[in-house]
Amino acid sequence: MLRSDITVAIRDAVMHELAEVGYGRLSIEAVARRAGVGKTAIYRRWSNKLEMVLEIVSDVAGRSVPLPDTGSFAGDLQLIMMIVSRALQHRIASQIIPDLMAEAARNPQIAETLQKALRTHQQAVGEKLVGSAVTRGELPEGTDPDLAVDLILGPLYWRLAVSRTKPDGAYLEKLMAAVTAALRSTAN
Amino acid sequence: MLRSDITVAIRDAVMHELAEVGYGRLSIEAVARRAGVGKTAIYRRWSNKLEMVLEIVSDVAGRSVPLPDTGSFAGDLQLIMMIVSRALQHRIASQIIPDLMAEAARNPQIAETLQKALRTHQQAVGEKLVGSAVTRGELPEGTDPDLAVDLILGPLYWRLAVSRTKPDGAYLEKLMAAVTAALRSTAN
DNA sequence: CCAGGACGTAACGGTTGCGTTCCGCCGTTT
DNA sequence: AAACGGCGGAACGCAACCGTTACGTCCTGG
């Protein structure tokens, strides 16, 4: 039986190594060094770097956020923005996510895994959020859930993961108001 | 005198190599191979990989987009979105940009270069766009140009560079309408 | 008390890349 | 005609990693 404490140490090392050097430069030897583990222990678990990273990342990403339901669109929106901005300000996540996103553009396996782990869940959240809001009469019928997701995640991702300036509370409020107005307007 | 045709070949090879394998795995030997050039020719021009990439990338990124002024906010917005979505659908750009963005998160030199090449220009565009719209009375006074930039670039970047689904014309129109409504609402 | 298995360490041969050096070729300049 | 300089090519020593193997230790279950 493979020792679980060793497995945990490796998973942990992979995440940190991924954050520090990125997927492209991640080496099994460095992971082993960091985890305080022999290379053999790693190869006993996975047969190569890609498989290892995919398994570990999709596992972490799979522990996904529960669907929000606060009773009002404003509440749901605020909750989602809080959760996302928390996640994207996490030191490790904010390094790993853009790195893997970029890597996904050239590695179909990574793309597929990320897609499965993130996109699917996002769509579900978007549909739930918009659906409830529409039945509550807070958003016009025919509101596009995909557009909603883009409008919510896009600016946050851009600011937090790309231009990397910390948003204050006032910014988040403005953004919330703006997104709400944007979605309300899609009446036609 | 360094031969300019050789320099061009190298610059070209760097961009393509960057798109294919990313900064992390970019090797000078591969660049030389691709450019059909000796390594010596490269080292005669730059002293290492980082310096080379920074010089080339900032040069390309520096050829920046002119400030739009179509006479109306709707026109300006449409123009910007067209330009951005064109740029982000460009095969090479759409691979290089997210890759360098991710790399910037761990390399201050890259971050600074990208900041200088992109962020500064974006702010200028944002201020111009919002400023003109406000004086025309198309947007309320006090509209935040940074928020505007985030609302415009965020969703486009998210869709084109991250989730990588191709937007049709209808989507772009909806997005335009949504962004306009969002910014109009920031009256308070 | 013993067998099995997971472990760390060390070494293997092979590959890739670094940044440098030296060579001979060739077009310019003078 | 000769000197110069950029060029490609080849090789250098060095380092990092690959994926595999052999070995000795330690823990656990039977």
CA distance readout (Å), B152 to A181, B23, B112: 15, 27, 23
| Residue B22 pLDDT level (bands cut at 50, 70, 90) | very high
Could you give the CA distance from residue A58 to residue A164 in angstroms, rounded to a whole number? 25
Structurally, what CATH architecture does the domain formed by B64-184 represent? Orthogonal Bundle (1.10)
Per-position DSSP letters for B137-160, written without gaps between them: TSS-TT--HHHHHHHHHHHHHIII
Interface test with B, best of A150, A152, A188 (most B CBs within 10 A): A150
H-run or E-run covering A4 = helix A4-25
**Residue recorded with tokens 């190569």:** A48
Pick the CATH number of A4-60 from 1.10.10.60, 3.90.870.10, 3.40.640.10, 2.70.180.20: 1.10.10.60
pLDDT at A186: 75
Provide the token pair at A109: 């396996």
Topology agreement, domain B4-59 and domain B64-184:
no
Contact B184 A184 (CB under 8 A): no
| CB atoms B22 and A103 under 8 Å | yes
Q: Which top CATH class is B4-59?
A: mainly alpha
What's chain B's average pLDDT?
A: 94
Measured in degrees and rounded to the nearest 5, phi and psi for residue A81 equal -65, -40
Angstrom distance, A58 CA to D16 C1' = 28
Distance in Å, residue A125 CA to nucleotide D18 C1':
42
Q: Say whether B79 sits in a helix, a strand or coil.
A: helix
- At B187 the pLDDT is 63
Indicate left, alpha or beta for A137 from its phi (over 0: left) and psi (-120 to 50: alpha). Answer: left
Protein residue nearest nucleotide D5, by CA to C1' = B1
Q: Which nucleotides of D are covered by protein (CB under 7 A)?
A: 5-11, 16-22
CB count, 10 Å around CB of A1? 3
- CA–CA gap between residue B166 and residue B174 (Å, rounded): 14
Distance separating alpha carbons of residues A131 and B75, to the nearest angstrom: 32
Indicate the SS3 state at residue A69.
coil
Per residue in A153-179, pLDDT tens? 999 999 998 888 888 899 999 999 999
Q: A94-119, pLDDT tens digit by residue?
A: 999 999 999 999 999 999 999 888 88
- Shortest CB distance from B177 goes to which of A119, A156, A185? A185
Render pLDDT for A118-156 as a digit per residue (tens, 0 to 9): 888 899 999 999 999 999 999 999 999 999 999 999 999
Tokens (6 digits) for A37: 């583990």
Looking at residue B153, its pLDDT comes to: 96
Taking one residue from A and the other from B, the number of pairs with CB-CB distance under 8 angstroms is 134
Q: Which of B21, B102, B150 sits opposite A99 (nearest CB)?
A: B102
Distance from CA of B60 to the nearest CA of A (A): 19
Is A28 within 8 Å of A13 (Cβ atoms)? no
pLDDT of residue A187: 63
Q: How far is the CA of A8 from the C1' of C9 (A)?
A: 21
- Tokens in use for A146? 């995909």
Question: How is chain A split into domains, by residue range?
Answer: 4-60, 64-184
Q: What is the DSSP string of A140-179?
A: -TT--HHHHHHHHHHHHHIIIIIS-----HHHHHHHHHHH
Q: For position A171, what pLDDT does the model report?
A: 93
The pLDDT tens digits of the residues spanning A29-62 come to: 999 999 999 999 999 999 999 999 999 999 998 8
Q: Separation of CA A2 and C1' C2 in angstroms? A: 21
Taking only the tens place, the pLDDT of each residue in B100-148 is 999 999 999 999 999 888 888 899 999 999 999 999 999 999 999 999 9
Given a contact cutoff of 8 angstroms between Cβ atoms, the answer to whether A122 and A153 are in contact is yes
Report the C-alpha dihedral over residues A167, A152, A78, A182, rounded to 10 degrees: 110
Give the pair of three-digit tokens for residue B83: 């330009």
* H/E segment holding residue B53: helix B49-62
Dist CA A178 CA A156 (whole Å): 13
Query: Which is nearest to A10 in space by CA: A47, A57, A40, A42?
Result: A42
